[in-house]
Amino acid sequence: MAAAPPHYPGLTLGPLPVGRINARLGTNLVPGSVTVSKAAHAHIAIDHPLEYADIMAALPGLIANPAFIGQDPKHPHAFYLLDALQTAVGSFAMVAIGFSLSPGGTYQVKSAYGLKAYQFTSRVKAGRVVAL
């Protein structure tokens, strides 16, 4: 009999630090929790398998107390939170989160993965990542 396919449950990670984010980005985010949908969880596991375990273990802390914040001009409807984290592929962890609340009143993780030090430095030099 074939093994059952992996199950990637939806997760609630905790409250988004909207006060710090609003102060840094000049946004008006309202308080809300951050969730990872089943689809986003599967995306992280399948598309980023080498760092999956490290990233998933770090996500609650990364959401609660990120060291850096950034935005990609190609993705104006989302922002990302970052912190130092040694993974199989890099020295930083990044989680992308949508600006809009879901119908359930939560902020949705879009993706999460590791960054190499040079990728992080490049984003800082370009002004796309700043200390939070």
What 3-state class would DSSP assign to 89? coil
Model confidence over 55-94: pLDDT tens digits?
999 999 999 999 999 998 898 999 999 999 998 888 999 9
Model confidence over 25-46: pLDDT tens digits?
999 999 999 999 999 999 999 9
**How far, in Å, CA of 63 to CA of 13, rounded?**
7
> How many C-beta atoms surround the C-beta of residue 25 within 10 A?
16
Contact 15, 35 (CB under 8 A): no
Locate the DSSP E strands across the chain. Answer: 11-15, 33-36, 68-70, 78-84, 92-101, 107-115, 129-131
pTM: 0.90
Spell out the domain ranges in the chain: 12-25+32-131
